[in-house]
Structure 1
Amino acid sequence: MKTTAALLVAGSMLAVATPAMAQDSENFDGFRLEALAGYDVAQAGSSVDTEGEDDESIEGLAYGVGAGYDFDAGGVVLGLEAEYVGSTGEVDVDGGDPEGFGLGTVSAGRDLYLGGRIGVKANDDLLVYAKGGYTNATFDVLSRDGDIEYRADIDTDGYRVGAGLEYALSGNTFAKVEYRYSNYSDAELDFEGDAPDVDLGEIDLDRHQVMAGFGMRF
């Protein structure tokens, strides 16, 4: 009788524990949506001479949304992700070398990202991951020639790499923090109206972001 009772108790404990273990295994699996916010700074890269007045950077608050899908392969989590981010960053430079931010009043526009990530579970509710992919960003430019104003967008293409931590909260919610570095190497100057676009060729623009996120899995 004691043996039977012990087996029943053990079976009951296993039945209770099994759903909990299954839930833990799904902490980093499936479709996710998230809100993002953090610190954003863009500056001329190492190949650009920014001595003097052109040694400027664009700094501000980054904010946006992201979406992704993760697959828990056991010890490794694989995912695809996309983001749309804006920024409050702005710098006002009167003149100078257009390789830097000497184009007038320059502000950061929208930032698009498409890439993937790979992570390992430090425990059931903590994921350590690295990420990388393609990024396209715009920078809004306002230049003046006497009383005439010229507005244009610098449309840039490049790559992004980063790393972060994601923590599974109660239910299907999660929080994360990550650092990412972007480098833009191709650019085009897009004018408003009928003015033709100008290919700026190769550029060297660095971007550093520290972002926090909160989201839900479905």
Structure 2
Amino acid sequence: MRKLIAAAVVLAAAATALPVSAQVFDGPYAGAQVGWNHDKIGRPDTDIGSIDIRNSEDSFTGGAFVGYNHKVAPRVVLGVEGGFEIAADDDVRRGFAVVDPDYTFDVSARAGYLVDERSLIYVRGGYENSRASVRMTGPDGTLRGHDNFDGWSVGGGVERALTDRISARIEYRYSDLGGSGETFDRHKALLGVAYHF
């Protein structure tokens, strides 16, 4: 987390002297992001039955995103964004029960305020889905399957234009992927770079 914050500060400082168009946050963009992921899973009801996990796991995550910004007022930016992520060593286990998220995608709306022409503070909210492998070993052998965990996510961050086309951002997200009475909470700290078309 400290490394992510330090990297964002360095990127923002390096961009201070660069001339940037006021329109950088208006139009389509695509980018990549990396960061820290923390999953906390309770006792989910999966395709192979209820799995007693009640544990958490930290992991490295990375992925790509695409979106569209529209300036609806001189300092107000609204937009939509979709993303895809995978994580490394993110399986959450307890004993002989394992939930291993394979990949995640999300769709969300963003609303931001331009502090100046280069700095956007924003919030987001939307839908998130995580596809996971599940495994449980018992007296009768090992059961394996796949399942979808979906729910809502919220978050916010700061995005800084480095040039007329490139921006960097740091963001926090919280996701609730549990069903009725289930626990699947996800926290993310992300550092991203975007190219604006």
Q: TM-score normalised by the shorter chain: which range applies?
A: 0.7 to 0.9
1:210 has 2:174 as partner: no
Contact 1:114–1:133 (8 Å) recurs in 2? yes
1:163 has 2:156 as partner: yes
Contact 1:32–1:68 (8 Å) recurs in 2? yes
Measured after TM superposition, the shift of residue 144 of structure 1 is 2.1
Report the equivalent of 2:75. 75
Contact 1:64–1:86 (8 Å) recurs in 2? yes
Report the equivalent of 1:144. 137
Report the equivalent of 2:36. 39
Rounded Cα–Cα distance in structure 1 between residues aligned with 2:53 and 2:26: 46
Residue type of the alignment partner of 2:66: A
1:180 has 2:173 as partner: yes
Name whichever structure is richer in strand by fraction: 2
Residue type of the alignment partner of 1:211: L
Larger-Rg structure: 1
Superposed, which structure 2 residues align to 1:58-97 within 5 Å?
A: 58-73=57-72, 74-88=74-88, 89-95=90-96
Q: Deviations over 1:134-158 (max 9, x none)?
A: 1111222122235833221231121
Report the equivalent of 1:130. 123
Measured after TM superposition, the shift of residue 202 of structure 1 is 4.7
Name whichever structure is richer in helix by fraction: 1
Rounded Cα–Cα distance in structure 2 between residues aligned with 1:151 and 1:55: 19
Structure 2: runs of 5+ lacking an equivalent: 1-17, 43-51
Report the equivalent of 1:109. 102
Contact 2:167–2:195 (8 Å) recurs in 1? yes
Contact 1:140–1:152 (8 Å) recurs in 2? yes
Rounded Cα–Cα distance in structure 1 between residues aligned with 2:133 and 2:61: 15
Rounded Cα–Cα distance in structure 2 between residues aligned with 1:145 and 1:205: 23
Rounded Cα–Cα distance in structure 2 between residues aligned with 1:132 and 1:86: 20
Rounded Cα–Cα distance in structure 1 between residues aligned with 2:131 and 2:57: 13
Structure 1: runs of 5+ lacking an equivalent: 1-19, 46-52, 96-103, 187-200
Contact 1:58–1:107 (8 Å) recurs in 2? no
Measured after TM superposition, the shift of residue 55 of structure 1 is 4.4
SS at match of 1:203: coil
Superposed, which structure 2 residues align to 1:195-206 within 5 Å?
A: 202-206=181-185
Measured after TM superposition, the shift of residue 32 of structure 1 is 0.5
Contact 2:75–2:115 (8 Å) recurs in 1? no
State TM-score, norm by structure 2.
0.78
TM-align CA RMSD: 2.2
